[in-house]
């Protein structure tokens, strides 16, 4: 199975200070979905938005993980280059995320901000925005046809993003939801759901000493080692590195993966 290729666009770290109101440093739960935002400030760049967030980090709590414009993708809270942290990008009293995904966006979703307007090349910014959403889906084993939601859907009485920003760039939210799976397919050679084998939960038991990987089931570096008989709960089955003819892996909490050939499984 083809992996996501080398990064088409670099992701630059410009992390907010912690601890602060905008960045608590608290670890996110297992990432379950992505929230599409726009900056709401026409003409503002990714760097300009992150600079504002930094300067006001002890005054305002609102935050996001990534800002995207026509020149760069800026990571201001860890999500792609380090273990994800929580961001405050959807009000907790907005309950649509809980209804749809069983969790809250601030706890278990990545917030991605689209920059638009004068002095920003809409085509270049949109291309990067679509690409990073597709890459996030690959990174966290999400179905790009089902795991992206606009902020306006989660908080319809207060928000219009990213519809407003996309409209300023002659695009629609509906088109975004089609373009991300298409980008995913182009970058990976896979149908958008091919990497997800099943989302049922269950328990696995280690047969001997077993390496647990972090980040994605293609990386050889183990995150930790568990002993014989260790019981672990899994939240999905996914495709990963083919070992001895077996490419099936179990997705655990917190972005960890375990090869299915090293464990016994008890579904449910």
Q: Where are the domains of the chain?
A: 11-188, 196-267
Query: Positive or negative, the Cα torsion across 222, 218, 29, 253?
Result: negative
Q: Percent of the chain scored above 90 by pLDDT?
A: 65
> Distance between CA atoms of 217 and 107, rounded to whole angstroms?
23
> Distance between CA atoms of 176 and 134, rounded to whole angstroms?
11
Helix (H, G, I), strand (E, B) or coil at 127: helix
Split at pLDDT 50, 70, 90, the class of 267 is low
pLDDT of residue 64: 98
Residue 156 C-alpha from the chain's centroid:
22
Same fold, 11-188 and 196-267: no
Going by C-alpha positions, the residue among 120, 179, 122 that lies closest to residue 148 is: 179
> Can you tell me the mean pLDDT for 12-16?
97
Residues 117-160: pLDDT tens digits?
999 999 999 999 999 999 999 888 888 988 999 999 999 999 99
Lowest mean pLDDT among 19-33, 126-140, 175-189, 190-204: 190-204
Going by C-alpha positions, the residue among 29, 100, 36, 24 that lies closest to residue 66 is: 36
CATH of domain 11-188: 3.40.80.10
Q: Residue 11: which H helix or E strand, with range?
A: strand 11-13
> Distance between CA atoms of 36 and 132, rounded to whole angstroms?
11
pLDDT of residue 200: 62
Would you state the structure tokens that stand for residue 222, as one six-digit string? 């183990």
pLDDT over 90 at 48, yes or no: yes
Helix (H, G, I), strand (E, B) or coil at 106: helix
Split at pLDDT 50, 70, 90, the class of 1 is very low
Helix (H, G, I), strand (E, B) or coil at 56: coil
pLDDT over 70 at 167, yes or no: yes
pLDDT over 70 at 268, yes or no: no
How distant, in Å, are the alpha carbons of 13, 65, 84, 106, 169 from that of 74? 6, 8, 14, 19, 20
Would you state the structure tokens that stand for residue 108, as one six-digit string? 């278990």
> Can you tell me the mean pLDDT for 85-107?
94
Burial class (CB in 10 A: 0-12, 13-18, 19+), 195: buried
> Distance between CA atoms of 261 and 79, rounded to whole angstroms?
29
pLDDT of residue 197: 52
Sheet holding 109-114, edge to edge: 11-13, 73-75, 66-68, 109-114, 33-38, 148-150
pLDDT of residue 240: 74
Mean pLDDT computed over every residue of the chain:
89
> Distance between CA atoms of 268 and 265, rounded to whole angstroms?
10
Centre a 10 Å sphere on the Cβ of residue 266 and count the other Cβ atoms it contains: 12
pLDDT of residue 192: 54
> Distance between CA atoms of 116 and 261, rounded to whole angstroms?
47
pLDDT of residue 255: 64
Burial class (CB in 10 A: 0-12, 13-18, 19+), 93: exposed
Residues 198-253: pLDDT tens digits?
556 789 999 999 998 876 666 666 678 999 999 998 877 777 778 888 888 888 76
Q: Phi then psi for 5, rounded to 5 degrees?
A: -70, 175
CATH 2.30.30 matches 196-267: yes
């Amino acid at each position: 199975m083809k992996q996501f290729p080398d990064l088409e666009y670099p992701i630059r770290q410009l992390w907010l200070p912690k601890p602060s109101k905008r960045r608590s440093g608290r670890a996110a739960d297992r990432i379950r979905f992505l929230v599409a935002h726009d900056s709401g400030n026409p003409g503002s760049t990714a760097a300009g938005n992150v600079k504002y967030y930094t300067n006001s980090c002890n005054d305002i709590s609102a935050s996001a993980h990534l800002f995207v414009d026509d020149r760069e993708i800026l990571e201001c809270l860890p999500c792609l280059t380090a273990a994800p942290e929580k961001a405050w990008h959807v009000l907790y009293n907005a309950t649509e995320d809980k209804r749809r995904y069983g969790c809250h966006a601030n706890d278990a979703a990545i917030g991605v901000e689209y920059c638009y307007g004068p002095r920003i090349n809409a085509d270049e910014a949109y291309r990067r925005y679509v690409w990073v959403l597709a890459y996030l889906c690959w990174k966290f084993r999400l179905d790009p046809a089902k795991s992206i939601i606009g902020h306006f859907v989660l908080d319809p009485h207060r928000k219009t993003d990213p519809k407003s920003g996309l409209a300023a760039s002659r695009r629609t939210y509906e088109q975004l939801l089609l373009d991300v799976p298409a980008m995913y397919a182009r970058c990976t050679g896979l149908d958008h759901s091919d990497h997800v084998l099943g989302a049922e939960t269950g328990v696995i038991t280690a047969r001997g000493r077993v390496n647990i990987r972090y980040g994605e089931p293609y990386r050889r570096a183990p995150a930790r080692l568990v002993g014989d008989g260790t019981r672990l709960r899994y939240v999905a089955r996914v495709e990963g590195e083919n070992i001895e003819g077996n490419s099936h892996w179990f997705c655990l909490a917190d972005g960890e993966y375990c090869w299915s050939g090293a464990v016994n499984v008890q579904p449910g």
